[in-house]
């Protein structure tokens, strides 16, 4: 794999922006591999993702900030630099359903997810065998209603200890508190087993079955304080018919959940997702 850098920028849209960024990179001998941008006219916003090969680049990562900040200041840029050499640390939260966890771990060991997984955290012991198979540390923190705050405190301590960058809720069946969420803004990825905003909340397959829909869906999104309302990263659907029982919906849905969640996680890891106005831009 190439050694690359990714620059993610959002700022007010204005003339000269693209020229300034391109010129800066050119002056430092960057070999641009991908560049994508998006203008949101209604919001007056400019968003871009640029990826370049570090081979010929004449700025050390440590020197980037001081060199780039004048450009950033001129255009009031919100920017982040990400290096492919620095794999983000992902924690996976899971309860009893293990299909998403199994899928993520398989993709991880297969080299598809360019991250580290220092921690699997569960309120049950059911999925420990999977963690063991893939040799990932597994922590069991039971969550009981009356002591949720304490459980979250323990979880946060573990996350900090492992320097976790982002969290994936792989069918984690507990609602996180606003206090917990604000520690990882736009850095907690959930998979909801419906085509949001349809069937937000509990038991979406049951409700989809009762409503008689002809397609079921899955949605991965960043977690915000409002349940199932965060910025959507990816969605997909599968066709069902009257021949499908509730069990079939759940089984077909599981395949959707795996695909949709793994795409979102991969894009997040590859720094392809920018959030604004409770929406995402996915630079694919």
Please identify every residue annotated as catalytic: 228
The yes or no reply on residue 39 touching a second copy (CB under 8 A) is yes
For a second copy, which stretch binds (CB under 8 A), given 149-157, 168-176, 182-190, 229-237? Answer: 229-237
* CB-based burial label for 84 (10 Å; 0-12, 13-18, 19+): middle
Asked if 205 contacts 246 with a C-beta cutoff of 8 angstroms, the reply is: yes
Determine which residue in the list 5, 6, 11, 30 makes contact with a second copy, applying CB under 8 A. 30
The yes or no reply on residue 31 touching a second copy (CB under 8 A) is yes
Give the residue carrying structure tokens 């021949």. 243
The yes or no reply on residue 204 touching a second copy (CB under 8 A) is no
The yes or no reply on residue 88 touching a second copy (CB under 8 A) is no
The yes or no reply on residue 127 touching a second copy (CB under 8 A) is no
For a second copy, which stretch binds (CB under 8 A), given 31-39, 120-128, 148-156, 170-178? Answer: 31-39
Determine which residue in the list 234, 257, 265, 270 makes contact with a second copy, applying CB under 8 A. 234
Q: Which is nearer to a second copy, 188 or 196 (by Cβ)?
A: 196
Q: Which is nearer to a second copy, 95 or 280 (by Cβ)?
A: 280
Beta bridge partners of 138: 120
Residues contacting a second copy: total by CB under 8 A: 60
The yes or no reply on residue 215 touching a second copy (CB under 8 A) is yes
For a second copy, which stretch binds (CB under 8 A), given 72-80, 140-148, 174-182, 194-202? Answer: 194-202
SS (H, E, C) the chain: CCCEEEEEEEEECCCCHHHHHHHHHHHCCCEEEEEEEEEECCCCEEEEEEEEECCCCCCCHHHHHHHHHHHHHHCCCEEEEEECCCCCEEEEEECCCCHHHHHHHHHHHCCCCCCEEEEEEECCCCCHHHHHHCCCCEEECCCCHHHHHHHHHHHHHHHHHCCCCEEEECCCCCCCCHHHHCCCCCCEEEEECCCCCCCCCCCHHHHHHHHCCCEEEEEEEECCCCCCCCCEEEEEEEECCCCCCHHHHHHHHHHHHHHHHHHHHHHHHCCCEEEECCEEEECC
What mask of x and - would describe binding to a second copy in positions 240 to 259, judged by CB under 8 A? -xxx-x-----x---x---x
Determine which residue in the list 3, 12, 18, 65 makes contact with a second copy, applying CB under 8 A. 18
Determine which residue in the list 8, 72, 102, 143 makes contact with a second copy, applying CB under 8 A. 102
What is the binding site for a second copy (CB under 8 A)? Answer: 15-16, 18-19, 21-23, 25-26, 29-39, 41, 99, 102, 106, 110, 112, 133, 195-199, 211-215, 217, 231-237, 239, 241-243, 245, 251, 255, 259, 277-282, 284
């Amino acid at each position: 794999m190439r050694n690359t850098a990714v620059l993610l920028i959002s700022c007010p849209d204005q003339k000269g922006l693209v020229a300034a960024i391109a010129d800066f990179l050119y002056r430092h001998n960057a070999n641009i591999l991908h560049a994508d941008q998006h203008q949101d006219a209604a919001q007056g916003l400019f968003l871009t993702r640029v990826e370049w090969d570090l081979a010929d680049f004449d700025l050390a990562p440590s020197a980037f900030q001081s060199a780039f900040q004048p450009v950033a200041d001129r255009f009031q840029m919100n920017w982040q630099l990400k290096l492919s050499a620095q794999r983000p640390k992902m924690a996976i939260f899971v309860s009893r359903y293990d299909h998403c966890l199994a899928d993520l771990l398989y993709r991880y060991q297969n080299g598809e997810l360019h991250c580290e997984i220092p921690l699997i955290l569960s309120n049950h012991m059911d999925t420990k065998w999977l963690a063991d198979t893939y040799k990932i540390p597994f922590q069991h923190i039971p969550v009981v209603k009356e002591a949720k705050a304490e459980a979250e405190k323990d979880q946060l301590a573990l996350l900090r200890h492992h320097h976790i960058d982002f969290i994936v809720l792989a069918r984690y069946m507990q609602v996180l508190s606003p206090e917990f969420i604000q520690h990882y803004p736009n850095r907690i990825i959930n998979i909801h087993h419906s085509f949001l905003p349809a069937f937000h909340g509990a038991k979406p397959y049951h409700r989809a079955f009762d409503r008689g829909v002809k397609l079921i869906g899955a949605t991965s999104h960043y977690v915000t304080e409002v349940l199932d309302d965060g910025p959507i990263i990816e969605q997909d659907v599968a066709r069902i018919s009257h021949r499908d029982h509730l069990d079939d919906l759940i089984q077909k849905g599981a395949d959707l959940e795996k695909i949709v969640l793994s795409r979102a996680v991969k894009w997040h890891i590859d720094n392809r997702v920018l959030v604004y106005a409770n929406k995402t831009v996915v630079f694919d």
